[in-house]
Structure 1
Amino acid sequence: MKISELTLFNNKAETAGIGLFLLLAVLPLVLGVLYALLYSLGLIGLISDGFTFSHWQRALSDQEFWLSILYTFYIALTTIAISITSALAASLYINKPLQKGIAGFSAYIPLAFPAIVVAFLAFQLGSQSGFFARLFFQFGIITDTAAFPEMVNDPFGIGIIAAHTFMAMPFFTLYFMSLYDQENISELSQVAQTLGASRTAQLRRIIVPIILKRAFPTLTLYTIFVMGSYEIPLILGRQTPQMMSVLVIRKLRRFSLSTIPEAYITALVFIAIILTILYLLFKSRTFSYDLDR
């Protein structure tokens, strides 16, 4: 009898938890998307004058919109590629020093920095009037601080990528080290070595594939996080092209009310692209390999 009551309680608690999640997390998102869609079609809002596709035509024909999408994907994919490569190297080759002492403590420090603090730090260090430019000038490497290479507010997003990598690399290093232990990769590597596999073959066929497979959902979600970041590209990015989050907010806050529907359309299209990519990536995958066992 006690077992039945416990099972029933667990079911009620799980149902209540799912209900609260849908009510507090999912419902506001759905209502927000619905409001943006109705606003973009001219059915509601300050400039509503009836159903129209004119806002969509104007937004989708804007070259800045498509450049921002490409720029956002470029920033996110470059950041995640550099972060993964660096984190794999650190977790595989200097994992023992990172488990203790000052090195181990230092790995956690970047995780405590808010994004806006990292953005200001990168600006103060990498701008043409920043610390590195002044240091190079004092040592006579450059004759003027303006000769220092553009590392912030540059067309290639170097400052944005560097700031995000500074935040992401320690996180993925610690995460990969944890996965390395959980999957008993050292034992698998020893077996492969006994069978004659070289270190390169172990990395290519065992270590890296296992780690990346287990980390795939986290890597995907972090990529989306970078794509949706606001503070770092706002401070370190240029006026054009801009990342999607900055572009949306800029269109929302313009004095002209006519750009508000375009901002909502930009957000809706971007959400649709992200959801489509997620569906294609995860439709044939299971999340069980990324859960604690």
Structure 2
Amino acid sequence: MKDGLRIPLMLTPALGLVVLLFGGGLLVGFGQSLGYFPAIGLRDITLRYYVSVFTDKNFLQSLWLTFRIAAETTVLSSVLAVALTLVLRQKFTGSRFVTFLFQVPLPVPHLVAASGIVLLVTQSGLIARVLAVLGLINVPADFPALVFDRAGVTIVLTFLWKEVPFIGLVVLAILQSVGPQYEELARTLGANARQRFFSVLLPLIMPGILSTSIIIFAFTFGNYEIPLLLGVRFPATLPVVAYRQYQDPDLALRPEAMAIILVLAVVAVLLLVAYRRLARYAVR
């Protein structure tokens, strides 16, 4: 057997399973989004479900909310991660323990993180009850309503708690592998701290920031657990809307749910294409 064929043949079973499950499900969902759903008597191919989705004001409002939450999470995660890794790369007393604490959120599932927020910071949560016992507030209901807010602040904060360490771990690995020699060389040439960061460090870590930020945007754009637990009933993010319509006993809503899911899938593909272009530009 030729060496050039060995690796593709070894990967064939795993790739075949992925293509079968993912591709098959995508194909079935695409068919239902076009109105082909024999289980309820729909067999005519049509685009009316896509038209219905894109002309629905509630859909556009949910699309904007989903995009805003994903964009805010991505930008804030990137900025905070870079700032924290610039501190963590320094050696100081307890730096290893602080780095460990920084990485603690990584293995915690998003569903567990959202559940913890509900138990902690709602008006009936642990913090409100403790403050009431200490006499800092009269009753737990006096605690500020931080969860189930229309702006999605708690949703963004929960995403930040999870995603900042993800970007930070990648950026920290890059900084540790590069070492301080480039900065020291720039310092000997008279570059100040600002110039060293924007002209030396940022170009080195930009590929890592771009790759992780695209992943985070795509994930938060399609995530439904945290918005479902921490968001308001309306407006809801697109994944939550699709989930509710898919779970609705009325199967006539299934094609619109599939249309929304396909829109999310197309956005994810476009993000991957954008990442490839940005990555090539950043490497240059």
Query: TM-score normalized by structure 2?
Result: 0.88
Identity of aligned residues (%): 27
Answering whether residue 7 of structure 2 is matched by residue 14 of structure 1, we say: yes
Deviation per CA, 1:231-284, whole angstroms, max 9, x where unpaired? 222211111222222211100111212210000000112212232233234246
Deviation per CA, 1:180-229, whole angstroms, max 9, x where unpaired? 02233x11111111111110111122212321223312221122122222
Question: Which amino acid is the alignment partner of residue 181 of structure 1?
Answer: Q
More deviation, 158-167/135-144: 135-144
Question: Which amino acid is the alignment partner of residue 38 of structure 1?
Answer: G
Question: Which amino acid is the alignment partner of residue 28 of structure 1?
Answer: L
> In the alignment, what sits opposite 1:108?
103
> In the alignment, what sits opposite 1:271?
265
CA deviation after TM superposition for structure 1 residue 91, in Å: 1.0
> In the alignment, what sits opposite 2:145?
150
Any unmatched runs of 5+ in structure 1? none
> In the alignment, what sits opposite 1:238?
232
Q: Distance in 2 between matches of 1:101 and 1:198?
A: 28
> What number of residue pairs does the alignment pair up?
281
Question: Which amino acid is the alignment partner of residue 58 of structure 2?
Answer: E
Q: Distance in 1 between matches of 2:201 and 2:282?
A: 19
Answering whether residue 160 of structure 2 is matched by residue 165 of structure 1, we say: yes
> In the alignment, what sits opposite 2:181?
187
Q: Quick one: which of 32, 51, 57 aligns to 2:25?
A: 32
Any unmatched runs of 5+ in structure 2? none
SS at match of 1:151: coil
Deviation per CA, 1:33-59, whole angstroms, max 9, x where unpaired? 221221122223323142333322222
Change (3 A) 1:97 1:242: farther
Q: Distance in 1 between matches of 2:93 and 2:207?
A: 23
Q: Does the aligned pair in 2 maintain the 1:98–1:104 contact within 8 Å?
A: no
Question: Which amino acid is the alignment partner of residue 29 of structure 1?
Answer: F
Answering whether residue 79 of structure 2 is matched by residue 85 of structure 1, we say: yes
Question: Which amino acid is the alignment partner of residue 32 of structure 2?
Answer: Y
Answering whether residue 127 of structure 2 is matched by residue 132 of structure 1, we say: yes
CA deviation after TM superposition for structure 1 residue 118, in Å: 0.7
> In the alignment, what sits opposite 2:200?
206
SS at match of 2:46: coil
Change (3 A) 1:284 1:224: closer
Question: Which amino acid is the alignment partner of residue 206 of structure 1?
Answer: V
SS at match of 2:147: coil
Q: Distance in 2 between matches of 1:168 and 1:51?
A: 41
Q: Does the aligned pair in 1 maintain the 2:120–2:126 contact within 8 Å?
A: yes
Q: Quick one: which of 45, 48, 52 aligns to 1:51?
A: 45
Q: Distance in 2 between matches of 1:197 and 1:176?
A: 22
Change (3 A) 1:82 1:193: same
Q: Does the aligned pair in 1 maintain the 2:85–2:172 contact within 8 Å?
A: yes
Change (3 A) 1:151 1:64: same
CA deviation after TM superposition for structure 1 residue 141, in Å: 4.3
Answering whether residue 252 of structure 2 is matched by residue 258 of structure 1, we say: yes
Change (3 A) 1:285 1:94: closer
Change (3 A) 1:280 1:12: same
Q: Does the aligned pair in 2 maintain the 1:98–1:107 contact within 8 Å?
A: no
Q: Quick one: which of 188, 212, 220 aligns to 1:218?
A: 212
Change (3 A) 1:27 1:283: farther
More deviation, 49-58/199-208: 49-58
Q: Distance in 2 between matches of 1:32 and 1:39?
A: 11
> In the alignment, what sits opposite 1:41?
34
